[in-house]
Structure 1
Amino acid sequence: MTTTLEHGQEHAAVSVESEARALGACLMATPAYDPVADVARAVSEGDWHEPAHELVWAAVQRLHGAGRPTGAPAVEAQLRSTGDLERAGGVVGLSRLASEACSPAEAVHYAGLVHGYAQVRRYQAALVRGMQGARQADPLCVAETIAAHQAELEYLTADDQNDDTFGRFGDHLDTHLDSLAVSLPAAARTGFTDLDTLMKLMPGQMILVAARPAMGKSAFALGVATANARRGGPTLVHSLEMGCDEVSNRILAARARVAFHHLRDGAEGLTEEDWDRLDRHTPELKGLPLWMDYSARVSPARIRSRVKTVLRETGRAPLVVVDYLQLMQTDQRNTRQSTYDRVTEISRELKILASDTGAVILALAQLNRGPEQRPDKRPAVSDLRDSGALEQDADAIILLHREDYYEPESGRSGETDLIVAKHRNGPTGTVTVAHQFHYSRMRDMAEEPGQD
């Protein structure tokens, strides 16, 4: 019976043979038959099973990138200049590779095998790490362990070696022009008329909503989530800071216009009119396509898993609200990771997640004390805390500012500025809305005070 070890040895042997044939073709390249570019498109960094082959490939790439020949004599000179010739197998090793070369036409096939066997090894390593994670898993956090393993497997599944991200510009131009003749609906709505006019939320976008504490970030985010769900848009909220009871009270207060402190106090605070309002709006709220995750331990992998759950159930990518980004964990569980590195990784992973799934991610973020040092107290994008990647990765950044927080006697009492400070696909500007924090909500300035 063939053992697992024998299978592994067989795979390694075929992988090494494929590497030799692909590299040999590169060493035998001529101006008329140059397979180096094709091989480069098929393999990724770390694909080479033999360390010597990786050194030879690095030398080939350096020469090819400089427009120089990649024949065995040139590669030998390149390896000698970097001191890597002996580790790469020496002159004898290069000669052996050249003698095992496949034809230029076959180079892509063998390069594909090189990448494929590398993916097999990565898959095997991921399974080993999954078993190790299962043995070491905290019984109270099994879901997070599974989500992290799923994320690693999904990363392998999303291998981009055979995608269509490379090609001539004109190849897809007609298809793109045809798409412009069709009006694309927004993927999500904020519920604020002027903001939805200024910003059309499209699939794959990551939107940052940032402010100093007490500016109303959570009220804004929950209002957007409820408004989008009321329009039939699937919506997913990750509340890292507030539990089920507080979030429920905030949504009930905002929708039913019941004072938040009445709900907080329970039976002692609720009036008969409050109960009537709650009874009137509860059926609608119960039927909303609104999913909640109250876990305080949220990573990009967990969000990806929840997004896929909503996708399976509704067939549509959701609007994802994260309250708030700096409280998230990475999937690496690296205790030595600095705050800057952690937030940078989370920011990048959220953007990739949005692009991969088509979800719109609305992530809340904290600002540093920069606004408080300015005479007008207005925030700026440069005030984002912990990582410059937040500004770089976000498709749009909305900064919240309340003048009446700093000047209680201000003539703009009850107003919040939504400052669209970055907008990759459109104009920037400021939208002013009214805040009613006793109802834990914001609303359009044009709405009548009693309008639902």
Structure 2
Amino acid sequence: MRLSAPVHLLKRQARLLSRRENVPLHQALDRVAAKEGFGSWSLLAAKAAEAAPAGRLLARLMPGDMVLMAARPGQGKTLMSLELAVAAMTQGNRAVFFSLEYMHADILDRFRDIGSNPADFDQLFDFDNSDAISAGYIIETLRSAPRGTLAVIDYLQLLDQKRENPELMVQIRALRSFARERGLVLVFISQVDRSYDSARKPFPDIGDIRLPNPLDLSLFDKACFLNRGEIQFQAT
């Protein structure tokens, strides 16, 4: 699928059209989509999401999956996780972003970086940066979440940083059981060990996941590794 401009620029064109001609934004979006050969903006957005790397990854995921999103710092794992959340919301699913690092303003900046806005998704997106985030907290928060909800946890290695939290292995096993029981997709942003050398191999792999505490990585179903703007999908 080839568009005349990236989706976020097409959306900006629609906003300008809406202001210039004093028409509702949804009408302006549909008019822009029509020029691109689509019957509506929702169809254009859905096709664009499917064609993007996040859309391709989402197509590989099933309800109940546990996913690693891993890279060294600065390689885009947070942005890819948000793009995955946007792809899920484009399909009408709910998305939740749990972060032990970001503030609300930070996550809005990251949305802008990918040319999106959580306000566009009719309250499908939730951001939670409670200091209490752990497996138990996530389970309680998502207990009534509908099947197909995608939750991002930022990040794996911080879940047991507080001494009062259970060991990481215990938490991941609990989240795995919960994800399967409720039909949720849980995406864990993960650090890659400093020993990984991109000059020796183009992508990190499951053996490069940083594990300050013991964890059986077979508890995860799939993994996505990023390096230098490229992405590699792997089964665990």
* Paired letter, 1:417: E
1:207 and 1:396 in contact (8 A); partners too: yes
- 2:213 aligned with 1:400: no
- Runs of 5+ consecutive residues of structure 1 not aligned to the other structure: 1-189, 257-280, 403-415, 424-452
1:297 and 1:329 in contact (8 A); partners too: no
Alpha carbons of structure 1 residues 192 and 344: separation in structure 2 relative to 1, 3 Å = farther
Secondary structure of the corresponding residue to residue 114 of structure 2:
helix
**1:289: Cα distance to partner?**
0.8
**Map of 1:350 onto structure 2:** 175
- 2:179 aligned with 1:384: no
* Paired letter, 2:127: M
More helix by share: 1
- 2:97 aligned with 1:284: no
Match of 1:247 among 103, 107, 130: 107
Q: State the alpha-carbon separation in 2 of the partners of residues 351 and 209 from structure 1.
A: 16
More strand by share: 2
**1:375: Cα distance to partner?**
2.6
**Map of 2:160 onto structure 1:** 329
2:135 and 2:172 in contact (8 A); partners too: no
TM-superposition CA deviations, 1:240-282 (whole Å, max 9, x none) = 21011110122134235xxxxxxxxxxxxxxxxxxxxxxxx68
Residue identity over aligned pairs, in percent, reads 25
- 2:88 aligned with 1:228: yes
Q: State the alpha-carbon separation in 2 of the partners of residues 194 and 283 from structure 1.
A: 21
1:299 and 1:330 in contact (8 A); partners too: no
- Runs of 5+ consecutive residues of structure 2 not aligned to the other structure: 1-47
Superposition misfits of 4+ residues, deviation over 6 angstroms: none
- 2:197 aligned with 1:362: no
TM-superposition CA deviations, 1:85-122 (whole Å, max 9, x none) = xxxxxxxxxxxxxxxxxxxxxxxxxxxxxxxxxxxxxx
- 2:131 aligned with 1:296: yes
Alpha carbons of structure 1 residues 301 and 283: separation in structure 2 relative to 1, 3 Å = closer
Q: State the alpha-carbon separation in 2 of the partners of residues 232 and 244 from structure 1.
A: 23
TM-score by length of structure 2 reads: 0.68
Secondary structure of the corresponding residue to residue 142 of structure 2:
helix
- 2:60 aligned with 1:200: yes
* Paired letter, 1:231: Q
**1:374: Cα distance to partner?**
4.8
1:229 and 1:288 in contact (8 A); partners too: no
Alpha carbons of structure 1 residues 301 and 331: separation in structure 2 relative to 1, 3 Å = farther
**Map of 1:171 onto structure 2:** none
* Paired letter, 1:381: I
Secondary structure of the corresponding residue to residue 86 of structure 2:
helix
Alpha carbons of structure 1 residues 372 and 238: separation in structure 2 relative to 1, 3 Å = same
2:168 and 2:214 in contact (8 A); partners too: no
Greater C-alpha radius of gyration: 1
Match of 2:151 among 315, 320, 324: 320
